[in-house]
Structures are given as C-alpha cells and as structure tokens.
Amino acid sequence: MEFWVLLRDVLLLLAGAFVFGIVAQRLRQSAIIGYLLAGVVFGPFLFHAEALMHLAEIGVALLLFTIGLEFSFTRLRRLGGIALGGGTLQVVSTMALFALILAAFVDFRAAVALGSMIALSSTAVVMRILVDRSEVDSPRGRNALGILLLQDVAVVPLVLLVTMMGQTGHLDSIALQIGKILLGAAGLVVLFYVLFYILVPRILFSGTIHRNRDLVVLLAILSAAGSLWLAHEAGLSPALGAFIAGMMLAESPFATQIRADIGSIRTLFVTLFFATIGLLLDPQWMVYNIHWVLLVLLIIVIGKILIIYFVARLFSRPPAEALSTGITLAQVGEFSFVLATTSRDIALIGPETFSLIVSVTIVSILISTYMVNKAPALAGKLLKPASWDPSASMATDAKGDRPAGRVMVIGYGPAGKQVTDALMEHEIRPEIIEMTPKTAQAAIERGLEVHIGDAVNEEVLVHAGLNETCLVVITIPDPRMTIAIIEAAKRLSHKAPVVARCRYHIFKEAMEKAGAALVVDEENVVGIDLAESVIDSLYRADSEEMACALGISGV
C-alpha cells in the first residue's frame, strides 16, 4: 500500500510540474519556475516528502553524470581561456569575497559554505534561455557556457569541502575521513576506467548489441545508475560517483549517444529534483522576511555581476560583452540547494539561514529569465555608448571557436567515406556521426573526430556541435531517417546548409521541403552515370562484340 501512495505522490508532483511548467512558458518564464511552484503548492498534500527527496538525489546525480560527459578538455579548449581560467577564477573569487563579508555575521565555516552557494549560477535556466534565443554561440553565450561548465564541475569539490568542514572530533579523525574519501574516489576512477575503457567499448563495438536498439539504451542507463549505486556502496556521495563516471566516459566516442539515451530518465528525475526544491520553501517565512530576502538578493546580484565583469575583462572581453555575461550569470543556481541541504544536515547553518538561502535562490531563479533576456540591452544602457558597439559584437559572434569550414558528415558508409576523402583532399577534416560502432572505428583509425550515435536524436546533434557547423552532409541510405535528420538539423540551426543523399527519387521533394539546401537524387545520378557508361561502351574501339551485337560495327 505504501508503494501506491508514494506513486500517487510522484504523479501528483509531476502533474503539477507539467501544468505549472506550461503556465510558466506562457508567461515567458523558464519551465523550471513551474516545477518549483509545483513543489510549493502540492507540498502540503504529500505523504512521502522524504522518499521524494531521495528520488531528487538521483536527479542531482544524473545531472552531474551528464555534466561529467560534457567535461572534456577538447571542449574546454574550444571555449577558450575563459572556460578553465575564467570559470575557476569566478568560483574562487566569488566564494572568497562573500565568505569574508559573511564572516562578520556568522561562523567562518558557515560563511565559507554560504560563499560556495552564492558562487554557483543556474546552468539549467541560463542554457535553456540561450538555446531558445539561439545565442549559445554568441560571445556572452560562449562566456556563460564556459563559466557554467566550471561551476558545475566545482559542485563536487565544494560538496566535499562543506562535508569536511562539518566533521567534528580530533584532527587525526578528520584527516582519516578525508583520506577515506580520496581513497574511495581513486578506487572509483580505477574501477570506472576498467569498465568504460575496456569492458563497455568491447560490448558496444560488437555487432550483436547494435542489432537491438533497446540493449544500447539499457547499457546507457546501467552505466549512469550503476555509477550512483557503486559510489553509495563505497560510502561516497552518489553525485561524486556519477560525475566521475561521466567524466571517464567524456572522451569516449559513445558519450554522445549515452547522453541522448539517458535523456528521458534524466528529465523525469531532474523534474522531481526541481519540484522537491519547492518543498524546501517556507512561504510564510519568506513573506514575513521578504525585506531581508530582497536585500540579500540585491547584494548577491550586484556582487556577482561585478565579479564576473572583472573576470571577463581580465580575459580581454569587451566591456559590454563582459557586463552582459555578468548579468546573465547573476542568479544563484540549482546546485546551491544541494550545498544548502548538506550544510543544514551537518549543522553548519541553522534553520533561519537555510530558509533565507532557499528563498533568495528561488526568487533569483524567478527573475533570471528577464535578466538573461535583457542582459545585452542592460549592458548597453549601463555602459557609455562609445564602449558598446553592436556591430563589433555581431562580428565576433560570427567567428565562433570552431575552425572555419567545419563540416559534419552523417553516416560513414561507402558514400560517407567518399565524401570524407574528397573533403580531406581539399584539406578539410570533417567530423563524423555514425551509429554503427564497427563502421565508426574505421573513421577513428583515420584520426577523424567521431560521434557514435543516432543523428535522428536532436541531443546527439547538439552535443556533436551542430550549432558550430557550416555544412551538414547526410549520406545515409534510409530516406525517412534522412528527412528526420534534416528536420532536426534545421530546428537546431538555420545557418548550416544541409546536403542530403536521396536514394529514391520519390523522396526528393520531401527532403527539399524538410529544409535541405541540396538533394543529390541517387536514381537520377545513377541513371545519368549508367547512360554515359552505356554510350561510352558502344563507341569504344575495344567493344566490337557489343557494337556488332547492336548492328553498328564500323562506327
């Protein structure tokens, strides 16, 4: 009976998140605001709030697993120095500055914990808005992405730091506990290396598993959920285990497909995560203390804008771009709830401080939609007109961090290989998306960058970098899959023209309607080639037998 009551609570929370998410979208807010409100509204009607919190922990861990998948040094290099250097400097400086200020009012350990919460911004909200506005590749979009990626990576060490500060007892026992954590993390790295670099590739490169698409999805879910369980069994944070597993898989050619395959289950648990955050809010406390909430929020927003502005300026970003980036990242993020809950559970902060940080974070996320949308305009108004040159910003925007002439070839069969060979003859090294591991291996052995995944899935295209591509070539033979990929590619990027292979003439018009700039009609091309070959054979001197058979000898 308890199970069905828990299921009812989950369904109630998800239904509320769905309804409020639609309302939030209608009001031009992030759907995440709706998920938070669902927790606030339906919280009093739930009987298993504690069990839901455990489910929310899975959501956090899955978020960190996918963030780990994003954490590749190749991608960091593409984002430029502001990603690694700027992101690290932003987290450290924000945390240190606010900790020093707060140390005058609370215990120093609590001040450090609060500073770490303030240092984080909302990846989920900011990136969703930038994607919707097609500004991920804009100057502030790339700056924000780089800093957000480092913030998300910093969550794991920050959680460990907060946990260590909550340790009580003799210095030796604290050191022993830290040693156990580090030893456990090292053990996970070794274990995951064996699993993800030796065992999983052998399974995926075998042809057997790819004959059944469900087995690939199950393996992806097993990799993500299994890492959580292994970390828990080792006495470590499941989030730490999930992040390490994702990071170990990040350089794997299967990373793109694994991200896509766990997308649905991640959406489920992440929605529960944001909804359960709403359960933490005490509306009555917030109403009675709204003046403190707004004052603290104002200090945080101004402080983060200034810190990120100066960090961006250190990396030679123009003033308007730097200020726009600061305004974009001025909110407090979702992972701050994780740090706040951890700090409360180990008595680093009290109930009043916890209610304050939860209230401030929710209100900051509420206003972040407007701040992200209006950031460029606000930056232009706040700075002198002479320092704001929209045309220069747009020129920078068009350059990107990927090499010029980047081409993506989807499918590495015989046709894809010929296209790749032709491109390489012109000193263009395309990136490949291929679904079959054995076929992909041939491209990998040639030193090409390969993403193993199903290009019909938009998430595969996103993580392969479609937004940064100047040309997409689809060489797969299945016309219906080709149409689906064209539609997905055009939804994600209007600027990259698509060249598509059309195996059957009857599908040519459908591909053109889907958005292909050029459709190569295979039947027409084969017909022309066949006709030329026939005529050439008839008139060749060494084809007398054929010529005689047709009665035209001596021609």
Domains in the chain, ordered, with CATH? 2-383 (1.20.1530.20), 407-539 (3.40.50.720)
Q: How many CB atoms lie within 10 A of CB 94?
A: 24
Q: Is the dihedral of CA 224, 226, 232, 235 positive or negative?
A: negative
At a CB cut-off of 8 Å and minimum separation 6, what does 113 contact?
162, 165, 339, 343, 348, 349
Q: How many CB atoms lie within 10 A of CB 515?
A: 17
Q: Is residue 415 within 8 Å of 501, Cβ to Cβ?
A: yes
| DSSP line for 69-88 | HH--HHHHHHH-HIIIIIHH
Give pLDDT, residue 227: 82
Give pLDDT, residue 211: 62
Q: Which residue numbers in the chain have pLDDT < 50?
A: 386-403, 553-555
Supply the angle between the helices 49-70 and 263-280 in degrees, to the nearest 10.
130
Give pLDDT, residue 479: 87
Element housing 409 (H / E): strand 407-410
For 54-85, b/e burial (b = at least 16 CB within 10 A) is ebbbbbbbbbbbbbbbbbbeebbebbbebbbb
Q: Give per-residue pLDDT as tens, 433-448.
A: 988 877 888 888 888 8
Give pLDDT, residue 399: 41
β-strands 407-410, 498-502 pairing: unpaired
- Between CA 109 and CA 115 the distance in angstroms is 10
What does the angle CA 130 – CA 135 – CA 136 come to, to the nearest 5 degrees? 75
Give pLDDT, residue 323: 92
Q: Which residues are registered as beta bridge partners of 521?
A: 502
Q: Is residue 465 within 8 Å of 400, Cβ to Cβ?
A: no
Give pLDDT, residue 435: 82
At a CB cut-off of 8 Å and minimum separation 6, what does 158 contact?
116, 119, 120, 339
